[in-house]
Amino acid sequence: MSLDIAYSTEINEFIDPDRAYEYFWAGILKDKKSFICPGENCDAQVTCANLDEESQNMRVVPHYRIYGKHHPDCEIDRKIPLKIKGIIIETQQSKKETLNLSVVDSFSLSRPHSYYESQIINKDKKSKSVEKKKYIVDNIFYNLKQIGEISKIYSVRSIVGRYLRYHRDGTLDNRKINVSGKNISYSSFFIQIRDQEFDSLPEYSVIYYGWAYIDKYDKYYRIKFKKSFIKENDKIQVSFFVSNDLIEKYEIKKLIIKRMKKISLLPKPTAFVFIYGKPKIKITKEKDKKFINLEMKNLDFMDIDSNTPLPKKNKINFSDETYLILRIFIITILFKYGNSDNNLIKYNYHTLFYLF
């Protein structure tokens, strides 16, 4: 059985190799050997290979390797489906059958004080981890059945990751996120900055995103979005600032700061940026000029990438059969009337191949 999930004894969470890699370079995980088998009652050690390799140097992607002996109850050793996966799949299937039931993630606006406590792996630790793992499996089962909540989320990075996963598995329309007691659909929790009316924006904080310029100054970074919001027919620039003080206070700054510094040094320092917050119109004292600011409490509220991670939206969605029939029809028309002066045919000739 392929091991595509393991239990991290550092963060007490089931994670896949890709998420483990992200957590390691964000400073959350410290040891590539601090995993155990996800099977029931099993404490077999698991190592995440290539976890500490730079991505551009890796010939093989991060993956889990099992060392040690499995427990007799372990599903991996018996080659049967994992209990943890069965619980989630069972709940997702029942969710699709029940129109009023949505799976809810919980976005916590601050991490618990114990979140960054160092973890030392030893026999007692592994034993406690097995007990903790069993508790989490049972708790996941209860939460999914009662309120749909799997676990708390502490960063915009994780929210973006879940958004992409839900989009891929076709469950995005049924997913919600809870922030400070308010349930919001995932689809409405993300708003692209694209020259829309400022007054049309929600009264509560959501995730805003888009392409932005990243400029480094002595005491801060300035992130300025390419697109604007519109207020009383005026386009108002949208930006936010990341101060050096804010960076120093952030416990897991390694990954996001590395990206910002790298992008800011490019000839064209642009990046795809996500930020959680509520836009506010402000006026500069010197030039009496309006601008829109998004304030951050900490760097968990933003994510940055050199490219857009969001899926591309197709202009037209057709089945393969319909697509083929339309292409044949258009080609036939073009061959028959290719030299015609008819404007419709000219339109077909110049634009229809672009659409398809």
The percentage of the chain sitting over the pLDDT mark of 90, rounded to a whole number, equals 29
pLDDT in tens, 180-192: 999 999 999 999 9
CA distance 8 to 22: 13
Asked if 116 and 162 touch (Cβ cutoff 8 Å), the reply is no
| pLDDT tens for each residue of 30-81 | 899 999 988 878 889 999 988 887 553 444 567 899 988 888 888 877 777 6
Q: Which has more confidence, 26 or 93?
A: 26
For residues 94 and 111, give the distance between their C-alpha atoms in angstroms, rounded to a whole number: 32
Q: What is the pLDDT of residues 293-336, one digit of tens each?
A: 998 888 989 988 888 878 776 544 444 556 567 767 777 776 66
- Least confident window among 3-12, 24-33, 98-107, 295-304: 98-107
Residue for token digits 């000739």?
349
Instruction: From 235, 232, 181, 186, select the one nearest 207 (Cα to Cα).
Output: 186
19 pLDDT band (50/70/90 cuts)?
A: confident
CA distances from 176 to 81, 102, 120, 148, 151 (A): 27, 7, 36, 9, 13
CATH class of 188-305: mainly beta
